[in-house]
Amino acid sequence: MSQRLVSSLELPDFHLWEKVQAKRIPLAFNLEVTARCNNDCRHCYINLPAVHPEAKARELSPEGIFKIAREAVSLGALWCLLTGGEPLLREDFPEIYLGLKRLGLLVSVFTNACLITPGHVELFRKYPPRDLEVTVYGVTPETYEAVTRRPGSFAAFRAGLEGLLKGGVKVRLKAMALKANLHELSEIGRFCRKHTRDYFRFDPLLQLRYDGNLQRNEEIIAQRLSPEEIVALEQADADRWPALQRNCGNLIASEAPPAGRDRLFHCGAGLKSFMVAWTGVFRLCDSLCHPGCVYDLGQGSLREAWEELVPLVRERRSRNAEFLEKCGACPLTNLCMWCPASAHLESGRLDGWVEYFCRVAKARAQALMRV
């Protein structure tokens, strides 16, 4: 079993996790099939070079993936998301994709679309994914490639996307909000809505690196929008800001939480979903990399990870005075980007306070209260 958390955390009972499991809700899981990518995006929290022999050698084999997937299905999994890195870098992607569908899973795929071939189009046309999501970094070569740092990537993206659309494959488009593309985000939004009329989202939260690479983390931080830029961007969105306004009463509490303020996990991580990293490591969610919260599936079963590790992690509590005074007593938690996984990436501890997240939450609250 995994290591214990830092000494500032304790383990109470498992009632919440057991209550959710008793309902036998279908599970979803994310599967990183690789950490390698054909692009070198400034903001990416995981990508390794496409030609990286060590990384390629450590990737789960199709047989390893199917073994885990069969266990997941036996636990009640219905949905599976293939992500990376760039999943299409794997030559055996069609084998993996079809193998998971044969197990009865509803399979989704995240891709940058730069590597789409006629063979991929035919695969997705004949055996449609539940969702196929493509990230749009810009709508001009200059902006797109300022993010990806790969000459020719914009043309490859457009060719891949056009191939999917002309092939009748339904695609969902999304965007990351970065310093490098902020000037073009309104055009990115129009482009995405034009091609996917029922769906578009953007994300201003840039996670730090899972591997803790200091140089790459500095690049990520440099691409983060200021709290004021995030609020202005959200206010300009015809869907996002009205939704925030409608839910203002739920997002801004009238007072601090009266109980459970020392609890770390208020999200859905490990309740109805989990993820498996490209190396076969189990996590409650994509970003939760703390060594006391992961499980090597090469050393044990998925059922052991799900039934033994998850409830332990879900019930972690904090004795950190700074966390209890700032985050635990804050009425703005629903407007905040903070979570234990992000806190660990930012501060090295699950109950660390993160100034940037706090500033974003306060900026959102101030804007909503002015309305």
Stretch 4-29: mean pLDDT, rounded? 57
Q: Which has more confidence, 14 or 237? A: 237
Amino acid at residue number 149: R
Spatial distance between the Cα atoms of 191 and 200, rounded to a whole number of angstroms:
10
> ∠ at Cα 198 (193, 201), nearest 5°?
60
Q: Tell me: pLDDT of 267 over 90.
A: no
Q: How confident is the model at residue 24 (pLDDT cuts 50, 70, 90)?
A: low
pLDDT at 249: 62
**Greater pLDDT, 78 or 239:** 78
Residue 12 has pLDDT above 60, yes or no: no
Check whether 34 has a pLDDT greater than 70: yes
Helical pair 93-102 and 118-126, crossing angle rounded to 10 deg? 0
What CATH topology corresponds to 9-234+268-316?
A: TIM Barrel (3.20.20)
Task: Give me 298's structure tokens.
Answer: 């090469």
pLDDT at 6 over 60: no
In the prediction, which pLDDT does 4 show?
30
Could you tell me whether strands 172-176 and 48-49 are parallel, antiparallel, or unpaired per DSSP bridges? unpaired
Pairing of strands 281-283, 295-296: antiparallel
Calculate mean pLDDT across residues 261-290: 94
Tell me: pLDDT of 19 over 80. Answer: no
Q: Please, which pLDDT band fits residue 18 given cuts at 50, 70 and 90? A: low
Name the amino acid, one letter, at 298.
G
Q: Say whether pLDDT at 266 is over 90.
A: no
Return mean pLDDT, the chain. 90
- Provide the whole-model pTM: 0.90
**Over the stretch 119-173, which tens digit does the pLDDT of each residue have?**
999 999 999 999 999 999 999 999 999 999 999 999 999 999 999 999 999 999 9
Check residue 237 and give its pLDDT.
86
Task: Read off the amino acid at residue 65.
Answer: I
Residue 1 has pLDDT above 50, yes or no: no
Identify which has the larger pLDDT, 314 or 23: 314
Tell me what percent of the residues of the chain surpass a pLDDT of 70: 89
Tokens of 329: 């007593």
pLDDT recorded at residue 347: 96
Q: What is the pLDDT of residue 164?
A: 97
Q: Is 9 a residue whose pLDDT tops 60?
A: no
CA–CA distance, 214 with 211 (Å, rounded to integer) = 9
